[in-house]
Chain A
Amino acid sequence: MAPTQPDRPQSSTPPPWLDKLLMWVVAPHLREEVLGDLHERYHRRARRLGELHARHTYWREVVAYLRPAFIKRKPSEYPQPFFLHPDMLRNYFKIALRNLARNKGYSFINISGLAVGMAVAMLIGLWVYDELTYDHYHKNHDRIAQVWQSRTSNGEINTLITVPRPLEMSLRNEYADYFQHIVMSSWTLRGVVAYGNKRLVKEGNYMQPAAPEMLSLEILAGLKEGLQEINSIMLAASTAKGLFGDEDPIGKIVRFDNKHELKVTSVFADIPASDSFHETTFIIPWEHLVANTDWIRNAVDQWGNNSFRLFVQLADNATMSEVSAKIKDIKLKANPEIAEQNPQFLLLPMNDWHLRSTFENGVQAGGGIENVWLFGIIGAFVLLLACINFMNLNTARSEKRAREVGIRKSVGSVRSQLVSQFLSESFLVVGLAFMVAMLLVLLLIPAFNTLADKQITFPWENLYFWGISLFFIVVTAMLSGSYPALYLSSFQPVKVLKGTFRVGRYAALPRKVLVVLQFTVSVALIIGTLTVFRQIQFTKNRPIGYDRAGLVQIPLTEGAFDGKYAFIRNELINSGAVIEMSATSNPTTEVYYGRGGFKWAGMPEDFQASFAWIWVSPDYVKSLGMKIITGRDFSPDFPSDSSAVLLNKTAVEYMGLKDPVGTVLRDSDEQDPGKGMKVIGVVDDMVMDSPYESVKPTVYDFNPGPVRFYHLRLAPNQSANKSIATVEGVFKKNFPDLPFEYKFVDDEYAAKFSSEERIGKLAGVFTGLAILISCLGLFGLASYVAEQRTKEIGVRKVLGASVASLWRLMSRDFVLLVLIALLIAVPLAVYFLDGWLQNYTYRTELSWWIFAAAGAGALVLTLLTVSFQAIKAALVDPVKSLRSE
């Protein structure tokens, strides 16, 4: 080999990647000499010490240049303004506004679509937040629990919200260390609170003295320990205001239920709507209820009477699961003979009351939380759809601006300025959309509250809200702005301006994927909403077993009406306003009592019978218009009917009776079987509880028992208003001190659907908006595509293509996307809706027409949306579209 010539570059060179790194770091004006020095050194070393050595030391030489002195750029002769300089910002915004104004259609689609999506997400977010912070009004909400109990009967575990009374003493005596507070409470009951001639019907509770402390009630006046004396009452601010106006209520005596004199010891702030105790507007000491109610007093040592509510607050060092485990067997230890029922106590934490209080066979199985999830997902999807539109339109539009970028670059914009220009544009649009969304939310909150039965206010003071909003604005703006910002700013101006700029073949692919995603969500939502409505409709049309029209129920104050039934009935029927009437222990639309422990001839050996139990006056069947299937109704002609009962159809099946009439129900207590109750007839099933569930086996017991409700059948030949006025007159005459209240059974029954209907309506509204947003996006995209293909369409027309064929050409792509979306959405919807329907015993089925309707709907919407643009593009005179070049 010839020796290396000194004046020619050596064959070996230093590692190029190190040079590249260096050139990237070192300021441009120093690059030549620095690289020259390095290479000269390298070659000198290589000559003297060998190539290997030179290579090894080269990187050290390179590192020596990574210092500020070389990194610092030389100030330009024409200094670039800092990219966040106020002048530049003003310029960005001016350009952005001009762009928005120039493309009014796109701007409108962009901003309104995003704003609607944001508004929906905000409303849903507020709703979800309200649901998730339910009961957070109480300072110790994470340490408070209610004691529940589960029992096994016929192989199934039932979980009850109630416990027997002796449990309280047991907890207080033996387990005191685990609890900070133990509070017995009544159900929330209605009572008449009176002061002077002011009389209010209010709902409230009887509670033990620790209640105000445990619930961290905000005391506005009087004592925090307001329940020490037995004849005291604590009033919510609204109740106090209603009774006393501006007077100071503390120390005043109020009359309760026209029987008891109670001293007002304190006033507490109203408990907010999103709280389990929100109906509690007065609190009276538990001991007062005990002292005045025989059966409660007697229950003090009855482990078998499970009618009581017990709340606890755990001690600081105790955990829910630990305490649950400790107390679970208390009842069993006290009553070993009921081992087969396996009664177990458990704590349900307050944080679970609202959303996770459903038990299935002894296992906690959610509850309202499913709806929270449902709406959370819908909200997220609607927002996602809006964002997808926004990004799609933004990136689609941005390609149009390649030339603008080219010009800007060639007159000296640097990349950072272009990036910040595009980003500030998307920030501007997202910011505008956010403001519109806030405005929408402010306007819509009242309507939303009505629809959702909530009392949500705009969270001006909630830092989470602002934090999340800000986060969202930044993320959306960055996401949707980053593509144009980074992609377009990387163009080489020469290429763009010469017109050789080309969008890649797959540039539209992400947009197509996103459109498919959008329509998948929309179609799934349509199917879901249709199914929810169908389920509601299906249940509404269910035969209910009695006649709702003109049926009125009147709640009675205990005591005052005792023994007056016959008299009132007489008077009402004579007034002509009422044609039939009965007295009963519970409203038509609910089951209050359940009774077990019966036997009858032919009962299977280990059967543990339990019935819904209704005490009725003899006219019950007549007044409700129920149908007798076999046997006969109660009748005054048979004095023995005082110990007779009617069964419903389900009860007959449940008991396995072939010939029900004449069967005698006896108490299974061996010592005292009693004289028994004879079945005299069977009535048709009547929907009392949830219309979604099967009817319970029910016994209608002749014994009037506790009369809590009157049922009136209004005269059909005069207006309901007039009849009600007459009835009110009769009541006022006989019970001048009691307020007159009534409910139409029709309304009460309709109220059973309110929660499902509310969910359905909300989901429907949101689905509609989701579809709207998807279509908006499609509309924008279609018009973009039409614009992009103007020339192609022009050429095709010149060559003789018909408008119809052009329309087909333009729509085909979108229809294909929607068909793909359908294929994805249908199995998803089937899977989830089937799971949802399983929650209902009485349920509709998923039928093919729902899917067909949803699919056809989506296709029609797509075609309508796209066709508008397609036909517009196809009708353009090709002379115009082709002349521009």
Chain B
Amino acid sequence: MRRSDLGEFEEVVLLAVAVRSPQAYSVVIAEELERETGQTVSTGAVHAALQRLETKGYLISQLGEPTPERGGRRKRLFTVTALGGRILSEVRQVRTRLWDRIVPQIILEWN
């Protein structure tokens, strides 16, 4: 798989979907990311990323149940596909491999 297919924001969104599965939709994902990064994240940005991930085949979606605070509108629930999962682990491996190769003193210097 080409690594360049997955942007950084997309990567965390994808991870967040995996975390909140099976109740993952843009609002909770945005809040999840806000909690984790401490920055404001708009549902619009998240939703756009979700759409992109879906067209790439890393996510599938279905419409969920309506709730009153949504004004009776349904939500779109996302699930990670097998392809999405494989990509996530590949990315993780690349990261781990690189981490492993950092000389320990350097890490000490950062801290």
Contacts and interface: CB of A to CB of B under 8 A. Distances in A.
A44 B27 contact: yes
A64 B69 contact: no
Contact of B75 (A7, A33, A57, A67): A33
B28 to A, nearest CB: 9
A65 B73 contact: no
Contact of A64 (B27, B45, B76): B45
Given A40-B27, A64-B43, A65-B44, A35 B69 contact: no
Nearest to A67: B48
B43 A10 contact: no
Interface residues of A, number: 26
B38 interface: no
Contact of B42 (A36, A39, A64, A69): A64
Contact of B73 (A10, A32, A43): A32
Contacts of A43: 69
A34 interface: yes
Contacts of B95: none
B69 A60 contact: no
Contacts of A8: 68
A41 B30 contact: yes
Contacts of A7: 68
Given A69-B51, A69-B52, A61 B70 contact: no
A38 interface: yes
B47 A36 contact: no
Interface string A1-15: 000000111100000
A70 interface: yes
A37 interface: yes
Interface in A50-95: 57, 60-65, 67, 69-70
B91 interface: no
A13 B75 CA distance: 18
A874 B71 CA distance: 61
A9 B69 contact: yes
B44 A64 contact: yes
Contacts of A63: 44
B94 interface: no
B58 interface: no
Contacts of B48: 67, 69-70
Contacts of A35: 71, 73
A23 to B, nearest CB: 12
A19 to B, nearest CB: 10
Interface string B7-43: 0000000000000000001110011000000001011
Contacts of A70: 44, 47-48
B47 A34 contact: yes
B63 interface: yes
Contact of A39 (B44, B63, B71): B71
B74 interface: yes
Interface string A299-325: 000000000000000000000000000
A67 B49 CA distance: 12
B44 A33 contact: no
A385 B75 CA distance: 60
B75 A36 contact: yes
Contact of B25 (A9, A37, A65, A67): A37
A36 B71 contact: yes
B105 interface: no
B111 interface: no
The secondary structure that dominates the B interface is helix
A10 B69 contact: yes
Contacts of B76: 33
A35 B43 CA distance: 11
Nearest to B69: A43
B80 to A, nearest CB: 19
Contacts of A9: 68-69, 71
Contacts of B4: none
A37 B69 contact: no
B68 A37 contact: no
Given A33-B63, A44-B27, A38 B43 contact: yes
A32 B25 CA distance: 13
A37 B43 contact: yes
Contacts of A36: 66, 70-71, 73-75
A43 B47 CA distance: 18
Contact of B47 (A37, A39, A40): A37
Contacts of B44: 34, 61-65, 67, 70
A37 B27 contact: yes
A34 B50 CA distance: 12
A413 B67 CA distance: 36
A231 B68 CA distance: 109
Contacts of B51: 69
Contacts of A62: 44
A63 B26 CA distance: 16
A57 B42 CA distance: 10
A60 B42 CA distance: 8
Given A37-B25, A44-B69, A70-B48, A61 B43 contact: yes
Contacts of B45: 64
Contacts of A39: 69-71, 73
B67 A40 contact: yes
Given A61-B42, A64-B42, A64-B43, A40 B74 contact: no
A258 B92 CA distance: 114
A10 B47 CA distance: 24
A547 B74 CA distance: 105
16 contacts: A33-B26, A33-B75, A33-B76, A35-B71, A35-B73, A36-B70, A36-B74, A37-B43, A37-B47, A40-B70, A44-B31, A57-B40, A61-B42, A62-B44, A69-B48, A70-B48
Interface of A: 7-10, 32-41, 43-44, 57, 60-65, 67, 69-70
**Nearest 3 pairs between A and B by C-beta?**
A64-B44, A36-B73, A64-B42
Given A9-B68, A36-B73, A57-B40, 7 more contacts: A10-B69, A38-B43, A39-B71, A40-B67, A60-B42, A61-B43, A63-B44
